[in-house]
Amino acid sequence: MKKLIIIDRDLSNLNTGGRYYLAQVIAYFKKKNLSMEIIDCSKFPKAVKKNRLFFIVYILKFYLKYRKGIFNFVNHGLHFYLLVPYFVSRIMGNKYGVGGHLAMYTLRKNLLMKWIEFLCEYIFLQGSSLIIIPSKAAVNQFKVFHLERKNKIIINPVPQIVGQGNIIFRKQIHKLIFAGHVEWRKGLDILIKALSKLEDLHLHLDVAGLYDVNSKYSKEIQKIINEYELNNNVFFHGYVSPETLAHLYKNSDLFVFPSRHETFGMVLVEAMSFGLPIVASSIPTTVEIIKDKVNGILYETEDADALAEAIRKVAYDSDLRYSIIQNNVKLSKKFRNWEDVGNENFNAILPFLNK
């Protein structure tokens, strides 16, 4: 049997849904006693981590020195770094699989960089033997790469944390929660602009997720908060433990998901399990999970006015809110577990280890 090599940026910090997913899959693979090696890039020498060329040479040296008879698996977000090493690895007779979580080129604003990113992604994905994708919406995102002949498997993740115990019906809406990285694609700026239109509701927003105060986007967020005088309404918690996040979910009245781009939305199913009513942007991924006026309210993506109106509707329509809560509780009882997800990934990769 071939050896499985898994590469990731930083498996010591499970602060993204994709990284948590991979960690759970690795834990399952260990139970199966797979011959496996984990390469955690966070443990590389500092000079290697900070310099893309050094990084490429470091990985290339790794393959040239040791690796024949392996199958590589990696999140395709590392395509810039691994394009050349994986090409060399393929010449040596190896194959690789990809966890395709997001078409990275779509996040680039500079047109030249967008095309460069697209080209690198295209080459990297075309060279792969297996692509594991977390949703049907993500499959559609990857259509532009013309992967019709590739082995593609859809494996939905499950929540990191699941609410337990009795669900409390919220008689009023005061406390909102946003869970996710504070970055452009998550759409926090849209939510804060919507808050400025809802002064009569006296809303409090908890932001739970990695927050770099020095990033360009975080500074833009703070500028919006200052402009609308919302400093007493928005609270940044930074990256929080699962226990703290569970506490925030339990003490919130409404979950808001204003994302511009997602491939699954793990936090949506987490919020459902805590019986929270949900307001979410109508991106394709969300529509797979949230049915409008059934287990949440959908609004037109990017539209702060539409988001404010959706929040107002949930706040004032107690019958609709109660129905959404009840439906979310019922649906959350049907969630799969990580054992199922691990087994599906195992069955997808195993044929390539046996070839």
- Residue among 281, 95, 122, 68 nearest 190 (CA): 281
Check whether 16 has a pLDDT greater than 90. no
The confidence band for 265, taking pLDDT boundaries of 50, 70 and 90, is confident
pTM over 0.85, yes/no: yes
What residue ranges define each of the domains in the chain, with the CATH number in brackets? 3-157+337-354 (3.40.50.2000), 175-332 (3.40.50.2000)
CA distances from 256 to 101, 108, 196, 281, 328 (A): 22, 25, 15, 9, 14
Quick one: pLDDT at residue 165?
58
pLDDT per position as a tens digit, 280-310: 999 999 999 999 999 999 999 999 999 999 9
Between CA 14 and CA 76 the distance in angstroms is 17
The confidence band for 255, taking pLDDT boundaries of 50, 70 and 90, is very high
User: Following DSSP, what letter does each residue of 123-153 receive, concatenated?
Assistant: HHHHT-SEEEES-HHHHHHGGGG--TTSEEE
- Give mean pLDDT, residues 59-81: 89
Quick one: pLDDT at residue 166?
61
User: Following DSSP, what letter does each residue of 276-339 receive, concatenated?
Assistant: --EEEE--HHHHHH--BTTTBEEE-TT-HHHHHHHHHHHHH-HHHHHHHHHHHHHHHTT---HH
The confidence band for 103, taking pLDDT boundaries of 50, 70 and 90, is confident
Check whether 168 has a pLDDT greater than 80. no
- Give mean pLDDT, residues 248-271: 93
pLDDT per position as a tens digit, 312-338: 999 999 999 999 999 998 998 888 899
Give exposure, 237-253, as e/b (b: 16+ Cβ within 10 Å). eeebeeeebbebbeebb
Token digits of residue 179? 């869970």
The whole-chain average pLDDT of the chain stands at 92
- More confident: 235 or 141: 235
Give exposure, 8-45, as e/b (b: 16+ Cβ within 10 Å). bbebeebebbbbbbbbbbbebbeeeebebebeebeebe
Give the position of tokens 């080129």: 105
Between CA 147 and CA 142 the distance in angstroms is 7
Quick one: pLDDT at residue 15?
77
Between CA 274 and CA 329 the distance in angstroms is 7
Q: Which amino acid is at 314?
A: V
Residue 93: which region, alpha, beta or left (left: phi > 0; alpha: psi -120 to 50)?
Answer: left
Check whether 175 has a pLDDT greater than 90. yes
* Alpha-carbon Rg for the chain in angstroms: 21
Which residues are bridge partners to 201 per DSSP?
none
Between CA 147 and CA 83 the distance in angstroms is 17
